[in-house]
Structure 1
Amino acid sequence: MVKRSKKPKLKLSERMTLTSPLQAYFRKIGNIPITTRQEETELGKRIQHGEEEALNRLVEGNLKFVVNIAQQYQGCGLDLLDLINEGNLGLIEAAKRFDPSKGVKFISYAVWWIRQAIMQALAEQGSIIRIPMRQADLIIKLGRVYKDLMQEKVADSPSVEDLAKRLNVSVKKVEALLGLSWGPLSLDTPISENEGTTFVDTIRVKTHPSPEQWAIKGSLIEELKELLSGLDPREETILRLRYGINGGNPMTLAQIGKKLNLSRERVRQLEKRAKERLKKRAVTRSLEDYLN
């Protein structure tokens, strides 16, 4: 049996230095109850009338969600505690702007602001995404083009030549953009060894058109998940895979067929039947439009 080499133990003082701030923060927010849907609606109305106490309660009741989002950006140039602090600033901004009359959950609305705050901090302070602002637009466009080409291609990832042609710039320019603060790097390379987040995922965060659209989409997906629970397990699986409802990339009929050992045509039939069942159960026009 091969023995694993033991990592050197940290002294107590070193462990305290490394973990105490985060542990203390986690303990603090762990005792704060999460706001309910009814409570956040009432708080939102009070915030619109300038009640600071309501603002504090809505923010504190959603601090745990910020931690979950901040963890996705570890390894990008800022410590987790710094990422959380920046995300909290976005949460506060969301709470100030929240309009409960729109009919969406607060956290669905706030996610956009939290991510934007974190990404802005990474752009300004992080050691990885420190690039000239005049290059930012091109890099964002590069991410969009990459996503488009990934949708069109079946086998391989887009080449540098493909990206250059679609952007109408030189290959050298694309290579330079990929190398900004990253070294030679592919757009689908993970940001760190321990996480699945990629460079293009980071870019995608910047391309969301508005917090309102983000919130509406998130709210619809939540409604759709509830409806899916009433389907046949196989139909539910097909729709989740087809539309990336679990957070993954949407799969083609052929990919789903291979995964479930079904023909492409059979998958199409099951998908159609499942969507028809969902439409019968959908209670809002917006959800029906989403299914279409």
Structure 2
Amino acid sequence: MSEKNLKEEIAEEEDELLENDVEEDSKELEKKLEEDPSALAPVSDDMLKSYLNKISQFSPLSREEEYELGKRIQDGDEEALNKLILSNLKFVVSIANRYKNSGISMTDLINQGNVGLVEAAKRFDPERGVKFISYAVWWIRQAIIQALAEQSGTVKLPIKQASILYKINEAVEKLTKENGKEPTPYELSQYLDMDTEDIENILRVSRNYLSLEVPIKEGEDKSFIDLLESETGSVEQEIIHGTLTEALSEIVDELSEREAKIIKWRFGMEGEAPKTLEEVGEMLQISRERVRQVESRALAKLRKKAMKRKLSDYLN
């Protein structure tokens, strides 16, 4: 046998071994998906194509099916939990795809999103009257955001605190521009409708509350905040908008006439595109800053009302 033929034969054997390994990994993943999706094996780059093909076979659930599964999950039914997770794995991929240029591989983004999906499935309360994915989008997104934050070394906090820290950073930047100085924890608490002590604790743990402005990757200008702010118009925002419109329409009507108008216009709750502060100000013949103040007050009221109606997960 010539040296060339020998090399070709070795290469063919190596390719065959690799294909067998990938096929075995894919079968193992399929088995785990079917038996226990709450213990999903990490998706590797080699398995990604097979994984995507596999999850495309799971059909979406109707509202009635989600409700039934949710009730069974509350009773400890593992089979119902698995079915709810399996039927929504495709949605995790769609959210992860929004962060594909963030410096983390697509497979890792999917892995993190799956963690959020599993957590949402375990916590889902069908009595709230919202679609499961409208609730799960928060958990999926926060799991991915937490992974991005840890990868960039900006923050190592529990998921909920990482989300709050981002809000604080956003408020710091806005208030600094408006007032020409950095806000105090008390001023932040007034602006965000939070306890001063809670803000101080989160800032203390995070060490540097402007750290979210550092680049995601060394040598790049894009920061963690830039990444989050670029998410407007994404799939999850559309779902969040639809959920809030449905779930909050009643409590919005309990606001004053001006507050209700501002909230509906600002969030496009009447079927129109959301309006800017300037546009709302012109319509009501008040200043942009006055619109912001009324909106902030109205949102604070909505949060309190939402707490009573078990909608706080969607507003926080």
TM-score by length of structure 1 reads 0.52
Match of 1:242 in 2: 266
Q: Alignment partner of 1:50: what SS?
A: coil
Distance 1:142 1:112 in 2: 14
Match of 1:51 in 2: 77
After the TM superposition, which residues 98-109 of structure 1 pair with which residues of structure 2 at under 5 Å, given as runs?
98-109=124-135
Instruction: Indicate yes or no: 2:90 matched with 1:60.
Output: no
Q: Which amino acid aligns with 2:50?
A: A
Which residue is 1:111 aligned to? 137
Alignment of structure 1 residues 206-225 onto 2, 5 Å = 219-222=243-246
Question: 2:227 — aligned with what?
Answer: 191
Partners in 2 of 1:62 and 1:139 — Cα distance? 23
Identity %: 39
Pairwise CA distance, 1:179: 3.7
Larger Rg: 2
Indicate if the aligned counterparts of 2:92 and 2:117 stay in contact, CA closer than 8 A: yes
What is the number of residues matched between the two proteins? 211
- Aligned equivalents of 2:140 and 2:131: distance in 1? 15
**Paired letter, 1:178:** E
Instruction: Indicate the residue corresponding to 2:213 in structure 1.
Output: 178
- Distance (whole Å) between structure 2 residues aligned to residue 91 and residue 247 of structure 1: 31
Contact 2:70 2:126 in 1 (8 A): yes
How far has the Cα of 1:105 moved from its partner? 1.3
Work out the CA distance in 2 between the residues paired with 1:161 and 1:50: 53
- Structure with the largest fraction of helix: 2
CA shift in 2, pair 1:19/1:111, >3 Å: same
Determine the C-alpha separation between the residues in 1 that align with 2:134 and 2:181: 33
CA contact (8 A) 2:146 2:162 kept: no
Match of 2:8 in 1: none
Q: Residue in 1 aligned with 2:170?
A: 146
* Deviation at residue 60 of structure 1 after TM alignment: 0.8
Deviation (angstroms), 1:83: 0.8
* Cα distance change on mapping 1:185 and 1:42 into 2, 3 Å: same
Q: For structure 1, which runs of at least 5 residues remain unmatched after alignment? A: 1-12, 153-157, 199-214, 226-237, 258-263, 269-284
Displacement after TM superposition at 1:165 (Å): 4.1
Distance 1:180 1:244, change over 3 A: same
Q: Hey, what does 1:234 align to over in structure 2? A: none
CA distance in 2, matches of 1:24, 1:247: 41
Structure 2 residue aligned with 1:203: none
Closer, same or farther in 2 for the Cα pair 1:33/1:186, shift >3 Å? closer
Contact 1:244 1:251 in 2 (8 A): no
CA contact (8 A) 1:142 1:163 kept: no
CA distance in 2, matches of 1:101, 1:137: 27
- AA in 1 matched with 2:92: V
Q: Is the 8 A contact 1:243 1:251 kept in 2?
A: no
Residues 115-147 of structure 1: per-residue CA shift (max 9 Å, x gap): 2222233333x2x2444659x979955743634
